[in-house]
Chain A
């Protein structure tokens, strides 16, 4: 990726990410997140990972974000005056974020990542066929586990979200429960 393309894009991505955190309006936050995720997809394209880029746009920037916006509009959030965090907390958060940025930046600056130099990509890199073969051979266990993970998340979400029957609706108190 040419540096003339990379640095402007990187600045835009960071601006998008800051927009997510700093916006008071949740809808604007979510839209900034869409922009950030979209811009991330550009890096994947530059790294020859076209399928991942497409999935990033379809799944994250598309489906997940639509869901986010739906939930935000359904909840009809309004700023809670009791919810103001103290400036001390904000300063501490900013301080630790900056510290992390400095440490990570310093470390990455000093490190030459192995394989980063212009090594030729393997045949068919980033194509659907190669990715699928990897997914269903080398990463089969991880792939199947992800489905269990998602299933648990769905079951959990249903348990927590569904309306409980009121005590009157329930059958007579079970024998073990002293009322």
Chain B
């Protein structure tokens, strides 16, 4: 008997992430300080190393035991997820003591969530993908509820856990049904088996049910309408930096896994299901934007805005061309950094253990804290899609690709939605610059300030010079399409 250790270097980034999580978990036990800044630094270092290892170990198409691939797609997401997680860690280094989080397991849990995400984005087998998803979810459930003395935090954790467990069950049922028909859980083999059957015939209904359940499970994780109901409550109740992590890294990971499934395993069926994606995309962005208009709580507003952005991203998944896929990958990066900035500013306004979350709390920020206000403005304008920021470039690529694929109506809906979204994003700007309030005393928050400023800078840079990331995105995307 031989073990499949022929190309174990494929697993190095994953193994390193898990090992580093264990290391940080152990070191944290001996931490003397209750602020855990050193633990944060250690975590950030590990995440940077994960990005470095995956960049250096890039071997296109190499697969370990048919379960995990380290292709350009995986590497793109390994780096993106590591960067987003580093941002989340830097935000947390000030936020954790501010919010009164006394559990040092906070950082190891983020590392384990990242490990789960890495598995998700690089898995080429449905079972492995599911295990990654569960590892990530398990860590995030706990992170959402880590402020045990906060009712809202408890509510967020419980809601996310119960609904998430239900979604996982659906996903698993879908995988089982697909396995029953195709006899495999490996993405490529599933695609071959589907292609060789008449999948629209009445006796393949089980397969379509499986596909439906699989998509429903993922729709929950990416917060697409009608599976979005948990999002605002969970984002509002979870610690702000955890919400930032969920809205950016978790969403990027779930989208990556969804892309792999939709464009590899289900590629033969998707032409007949593009209407489903169309409906999901249109309803998700419209619902997200119109409900966001009515929010007075900025955290909830950002939650609905994240739902709306899921809709925009689904436009790219619907179009499913090479350009659209690359645009989705770019948009996930752009959306990630600008949301880190927005949630980061919210975290920076934490006072006496309570985040200031109402739009009225932003009054006078332009005078009292000009840097934070500038960061928030950049992020809001970018989320809205104002040139020359990253959000505009991302939307431009996405919508052009969808137009070229012939989805004119969907793009019109998306553009109208972007116009509507301007109303609530600009509402924050109005409060910051055209309303005044007395200055508050704030303790120095160096890590938070650094992280949000960096996020805003990256947002501007991604918008002014999109080609390096866009090039990497299109290489990454073509690696799963042309791959085995």
> Within the complex, which residue of A106, A149, A159, A177 is in contact with B146, where a contact is CB–CB below 8 Å?
A159
Main secondary structure of the interface of A (DSSP, over half): helix
B141 touches A156 (CB 8 A): yes
Q: Kindly state the separation between the CA atoms of A140 and B66 in the bound complex, as whole angstroms.
A: 10
The answer to whether the Cβ of A83 comes within 8 Å of any Cβ in the partner chain is no
Q: Kindly state the separation between the CA atoms of A142 and B175 in the bound complex, as whole angstroms.
A: 15
> Within the complex, which residue of A111, A152, A175 is in contact with B112, where a contact is CB–CB below 8 Å?
A152
A142 touches B180 (CB 8 A): no
On chain B, the residues within 8 Å of A175 by CB distance are 443
The answer to whether the Cβ of B103 comes within 8 Å of any Cβ in the partner chain is yes
> Within the complex, which residue of A104, A141, A149 is in contact with B64, where a contact is CB–CB below 8 Å?
A141
On chain B, the residues within 8 Å of A178 by CB distance are 351-352, 441, 443
Q: Kindly state the separation between the CA atoms of A112 and B25 in the bound complex, as whole angstroms.
A: 50
On chain A, the residues within 8 Å of B125 by CB distance are 141-142
Binary contact track B16-44/A, C-beta < 8 Å → 1, others 0: 00100010010000000111000000000
The answer to whether the Cβ of A103 comes within 8 Å of any Cβ in the partner chain is yes
B131 touches A146 (CB 8 A): yes
Would you list which residues of chain B between 384 and 405 have a CB under 8 Å from chain A?
A: none
- Contacts A133-B1, A177-B100 aside, 17 further interface pairs with beta carbons under 8 A come to A107-B209, A111-B204, A137-B2, A137-B65, A140-B4, A141-B64, A141-B68, A142-B127, A146-B131, A148-B18, A149-B138, A152-B116, A158-B105, A164-B148, A176-B35, A177-B443, A178-B352
The answer to whether the Cβ of A113 comes within 8 Å of any Cβ in the partner chain is yes
Distance in angstroms from A157 CB to nearest chain B CB is: 8
Q: Kindly state the separation between the CA atoms of A77 and B359 in the bound complex, as whole angstroms.
A: 43
A164 touches B102 (CB 8 A): yes
Binary contact track A104-139/B, C-beta < 8 Å → 1, others 0: 101110111111000000000000000001001111
The answer to whether the Cβ of A80 comes within 8 Å of any Cβ in the partner chain is no
> Within the complex, which residue of B3, B146, B202 is in contact with A136, where a contact is CB–CB below 8 Å?
B3
B11 touches A177 (CB 8 A): no
The answer to whether the Cβ of A179 comes within 8 Å of any Cβ in the partner chain is yes
A165 touches B102 (CB 8 A): yes
The answer to whether the Cβ of A5 comes within 8 Å of any Cβ in the partner chain is no
Distance in angstroms from A135 CB to nearest chain B CB is: 12
**Residue among A110, A133, A145 with the highest chain B CB neighbour number at 10 A:** A145
Query: How many residue-residue contacts, CB under 8 A, span A and B?
Result: 129
A176 touches B205 (CB 8 A): no
4 closest A-B pairs by CB: A156-B142, A107-B205, A141-B67, A145-B131
Which B residues have a C-beta under 8 Å from some C-beta of A?
1-4, 11, 18, 22, 25, 33-35, 64-68, 94, 97-98, 100, 102-103, 105, 108-109, 112, 115-116, 119, 125, 127-128, 131-132, 134-135, 138-139, 141-142, 145-146, 148-149, 157, 180-181, 183, 202-209, 351-353, 441, 443-445
A141 touches B142 (CB 8 A): no
B102 touches A152 (CB 8 A): no
Which A residues have a C-beta under 8 Å from some C-beta of B?
103-104, 106-108, 110-115, 133, 136-142, 145-146, 148-149, 151-153, 155-156, 158-160, 164-165, 170-171, 174-179
Distance in angstroms from A179 CB to nearest chain B CB is: 7
B98 touches A141 (CB 8 A): no
B181 touches A142 (CB 8 A): no
A160 touches B206 (CB 8 A): no
On chain B, the residues within 8 Å of A159 by CB distance are 103, 105, 109, 142, 146
Distance in angstroms from B146 CB to nearest chain A CB is: 7
Distance in angstroms from A97 CB to nearest chain B CB is: 13
Q: Kindly state the separation between the CA atoms of A42 and B352 in the bound complex, as whole angstroms.
A: 58
B131 touches A137 (CB 8 A): no
A152 touches B135 (CB 8 A): yes
On chain A, the residues within 8 Å of B98 by CB distance are 176-177
On chain B, the residues within 8 Å of A115 by CB distance are 183
On chain A, the residues within 8 Å of B22 by CB distance are 151
Q: Kindly state the separation between the CA atoms of A135 and B468 in the bound complex, as whole angstroms.
A: 42
Contact of A152 with B139 at beta-carbon distance under 8 Å, contacts A108-B206, A115-B183, A174-B35 already known: yes
On chain A, the residues within 8 Å of B127 by CB distance are 139, 142
Q: Kindly state the separation between the CA atoms of A111 and B203 in the bound complex, as whole angstroms.
A: 4
Contact of A177 with B205 at beta-carbon distance under 8 Å, contacts A137-B4, A141-B11 already known: no
B445 touches A142 (CB 8 A): no
B3 touches A111 (CB 8 A): no
Distance in angstroms from B353 CB to nearest chain A CB is: 8
Distance in angstroms from A43 CB to nearest chain B CB is: 15
Please, which residue of chain B has its CB at the minimum distance from the CB of A165?
B102
On chain B, the residues within 8 Å of A160 by CB distance are 142, 145-146, 148, 157
Contact of A176 with B131 at beta-carbon distance under 8 Å, contacts A111-B181, A140-B65, A141-B65 already known: no
Q: Kindly state the separation between the CA atoms of A140 and B14 in the bound complex, as whole angstroms.
A: 14
Q: Kindly state the separation between the CA atoms of A88 and B192 in the bound complex, as whole angstroms.
A: 45
Q: Kindly state the separation between the CA atoms of A121 and B477 in the bound complex, as whole angstroms.
A: 40
Contact of A137 with B1 at beta-carbon distance under 8 Å, contacts A108-B206, A176-B445, A177-B98 already known: yes
Please, which residue of chain A has its CB at the minimum distance from the CB of B108?
A155
On chain A, the residues within 8 Å of B205 by CB distance are 106-107, 110-111
